Amino acid sequence: MVNEERFWDASVEELSQGYYFNDEKEQYTCLFCYEAFEDGVIYPMSDRLLEAKKAVKQHILHSHGSPFEYLLSMDKKYTGLSEHQKELLTFFQSGLNDKEIVKELEGGSPSTIRNHRFKFREKEKQAKIYLAIMNVLNGQKDKSTKDFIEIHKGAKMVDERYAITIEEKEKVLETYFKNGLDGPLDNFPSKEKRKIIILQHILTRFTPNKRYTELEVNTVLKTIFNDFATIRRYLIEYGFIERSKDCTEYWVKQ
């Protein structure tokens, strides 16, 4: 999906602020839910009138807490952080000193907290070097290099099933959507990789940030495949779509 790709293509600065500016559309867009605010338009928010850039910042605070909170809440497969490390980072972000953190944790020692601070700084250095290495590597890619499709943020488990090249994706879609990508699905594959490719494409038929009833979801899926219940179940199981506990609302998982 375009939105997923934009999230993963975002710079560190864009991820840190939680939004990006689309030059072509002249919009400030939230990276976490893709709500857009058109430059030059005034938005009423919290009893105030805000220009687009301030409006997207206010939206992020209101809807996602903050970029720090949203990014920290992401799965370990993306952050590489344990729950304990996330807790410590939250304390650091709030400005607590080492003694205060020990008190909050009800155990440990200030020296242990200082050691954690040191390790986090070392991880930051390593991350910078890694990004620099990948930047050089990506700059040297030639046209024969196989690029992989982006993994959606809602993925329940990332493994070899997601090692899918763009070329593989195009071939699978061509095979299973014989009447074009906007047409119906010829049949639903049994192989895991192909399932993911098909489900990822089907998700483009849904609008991010929109809440759907089960009937509305079924209506969309019926135009794609006769066994719409199976498609709906897989969209949920693979983390593409989320639903409320009472199954009355469905939405694209961000």
pLDDT (tens digit per residue) in 157-211: 556 666 788 888 889 999 999 989 999 998 998 888 888 889 989 998 998 888 9
Could you tell me if 55 and 124 lie in one domain? no
What does pTM read for this prediction?
A: 0.59
Contact status, residue 213 vs residue 250, Cβ threshold 8 Å? yes
Q: Among the ranges 133-142, 148-157, 174-183, which has the highest mean pLDDT value?
A: 174-183
pLDDT for position 1: 42
Could you tell me if 82 and 59 lie in one domain? no
pLDDT of 137 > 90? The answer is no
Of 187, 189, 199, 195, nearest to 161 by C-alpha is 195
Give the separation between CA 108 and CA 85, rounded to whole angstroms: 14
Q: Is residue 242 included in any domain, yes or no?
A: yes
Residues 6 or more apart whose Cβ sits within 8 Å of residue 40 = 26, 51, 52
Q: What percent of the chain has pLDDT over 70?
A: 89
Could you tell me if 34 and 65 lie in one domain? yes
Give the residue from 70, 87, 105 where a domain finishes: 70
Domains in the chain, number = 3
pLDDT for position 142: 54
Q: Is residue 223 included in any domain, yes or no?
A: yes
Provide the 3-class DSSP secondary structure of residue 196.
Answer: helix
The tokens for 142 are 């030639």
Could you tell me if 181 and 98 lie in one domain? no
**Rg, the chain, Cα only:** 21
Please give the residue range of the domain that contains residue 37. 2-70
Contact status, residue 197 vs residue 173, Cβ threshold 8 Å? yes
Could you tell me if 174 and 225 lie in one domain? yes
Could you tell me if 84 and 56 lie in one domain? no
Give the separation between CA 179 and CA 174, rounded to whole angstroms: 9
Could you tell me if 131 and 177 lie in one domain? no
Q: Is residue 144 included in any domain, yes or no?
A: no
Could you tell me if 123 and 167 lie in one domain? no
Place of tokens 């807490």: 65
pLDDT for position 163: 75
Q: Is residue 169 included in any domain, yes or no?
A: yes
pLDDT for position 136: 85
Could you tell me if 84 and 64 lie in one domain? no
Helices 98-105 and 110-139, interaxial angle, to 10°? Answer: 100
Count of alpha carbons within 13 Å of 218, Cβ hemisphere only?
7
pLDDT for position 173: 92
